[in-house]
Amino acid sequence: MREYIERDVLLTCWLDKGKDLFHVKINHHMGISHYLSKQGINIDCFVYKYKICNNFIVWCQLTNSKNKQAYHSSGFSAKPNIEKAVSHALSEAWGALKYKEENILSKSSSPLKDIQDYYFDIRNTNKVKVLTKYTKSCNYSNLINLSNITLRSKYQEIISVDLSIPELRNQGLYCKKVIGIGGKSMVFDYHLAPDMPKYLPLA
């Protein structure tokens, strides 16, 4: 559920060029931020202007100016604790960046190549910046004062379908499909959806 909320909220914010996002300067000792800074990787952290069901919605961008092929990545999180949310988003973005670097070194190909090509491509830098054109700055310490809204106020209905097969359940794993009526739809087949911006930072 949290993953659905974070993706739906951020997709809406991107299409609105970031007008509902706060650009937040984070503490260099939060999560792996200190390590990333020492590696010369730039961090941009954005937080949705509302908490949803007491969850902070966080988007972290990493930019590595030293590597033009694995140049940019994103990580996302929705958690009740802002520090844990930021730390999780940073770790996810760093994992995505390392994955791209490893793929470049191994020269391996995969069905995700089309997504990766634009997702990490330096030529999309200015396009990605458009997604945050109207963001506003906010002090990290002020995030605890964000208003909280409920799922009912954002979606007409939430439908959750359990798709877990017995083999998954036996391993303690579960699979669910969540649909929010009134939310944005995410399309991954860009050949079938040419009107969907190719530079959205999907991870």
Q: What is the H or E stretch that residue 136 is in?
A: strand 136-138
pLDDT average per 10 residues of sequence, the chain (203 residues): 82 86 86 84 92 94 76 88 93 85 63 56 67 90 92 82 91 86 63 53 52
**Tell me, what's the pLDDT at 116?**
56
Task: Read off φ and ψ for residue 194, nearest 5 degrees.
Answer: -65, -20
pTM for the model stands at 0.77
pLDDT at 46: 95
b/e sequence 141-174, b meaning 16+ C-beta within 10 Å: eebeebeeeeeeebbeebeeeeeeeeeeeeeeee
Residue 28 structure tokens: 């260099």
C-alpha to C-alpha distance for 94 and 98, rounded to whole angstroms: 6
Q: How far apart are CA 131 and CA 59, in angstroms?
A: 12
CB 89 within 8 A of CB 60: yes
CB 11 within 8 A of CB 125: no
Q: Which residues pair with residue 189 across a beta bridge? A: none
Q: Could you tell me the two tokens for 182?
A: 């009134």
Q: What is the structure's pLDDT at 101?
A: 67
Tokens linked to 137: 């700055």
Report whether 60 contacts 86 (CB < 8 A): yes
Integer angstrom CA distances of residue 195 from 52, 188, 190: 29, 12, 8
Q: What is the pLDDT of residue 203?
A: 44
At residue 46, φ and ψ (nearest 5 deg) are -125, 140
